[in-house]
Amino acid sequence: MDHVEFILDQWRRERPDLDVTAMGVVGRVGRLSLAYLKPMEKTFARFGLNAAKFDVLATLRRAGAPHCLSAGALMKATMVASGTMTNRIDRLEVDGLVSRTTNPEDSRSFLIALTPEGRALIDQVVEAHVATQADLIEGLSAEDVAQLSALLAKALNALESN
């Protein structure tokens, strides 16, 4: 019995009139998320990064050559506010991992690009990150992983379509 089941059993005993099925799903997803974040943060820290910096660098890397996006496109991809994105870009620029240039198509905006150092770093970090994530699910069979991934995708799609 996991900790969530313990909590559910308590609620079932104290409030048998409540259907706590959703509480179990959401509680387990939340606990997994927190448990997964700790080792991933350790991986990022080994490279002098945190999850926020990793997110920006990974987004630029995934964008493909020339690994450059507008600040607006970065905000949309990472789902953070303008001030938050500006702060992240400022820090990464100070670290020499990204460069900021005026957008030739719109002089009011900037293009953010990986520097060669930024690209080399994110390529290293993403390899370590993928290995960390693989370690986190090593107790599941390939079939378990496929089923879990499909169910989580279904749940996320249902939530995002509302």
User: Which among 43, 33, 9 has a CA at the least distance from the CA of 152?
Assistant: 33
Q: Which two structure tokens, joined as six digits, stand for 5?
A: 């089941």
Residue reference for tokens 């019995």: 1
Q: Give me the pLDDT at residue 132, please.
A: 98
End-to-end CA separation in angstroms for the chain? 33
Q: Give me the pLDDT at residue 71, please.
A: 86
Q: Give me the pLDDT at residue 80, please.
A: 85
Element (H, E) at 69: strand 68-70
The residue type found at 86 is T
Residues 6+ apart with CB under 8 A from 134: none
pLDDT higher than threshold 90 for residue 145: yes
Model confidence pLDDT, tens digit, residues 15-63: 999 999 999 999 999 999 999 999 999 999 999 999 999 999 999 999 9
Could you tell me the pLDDT band of residue 106, with boundaries at 50, 70 and 90?
Answer: confident
**Rounded to two decimals, what is the model's pTM?**
0.86
User: Which among 40, 67, 70 has a CA at the least distance from the CA of 123?
Assistant: 67
Model confidence pLDDT, tens digit, residues 119-143: 999 999 999 999 999 999 999 999 9
Could you tell me the pLDDT band of residue 79, with boundaries at 50, 70 and 90?
Answer: confident
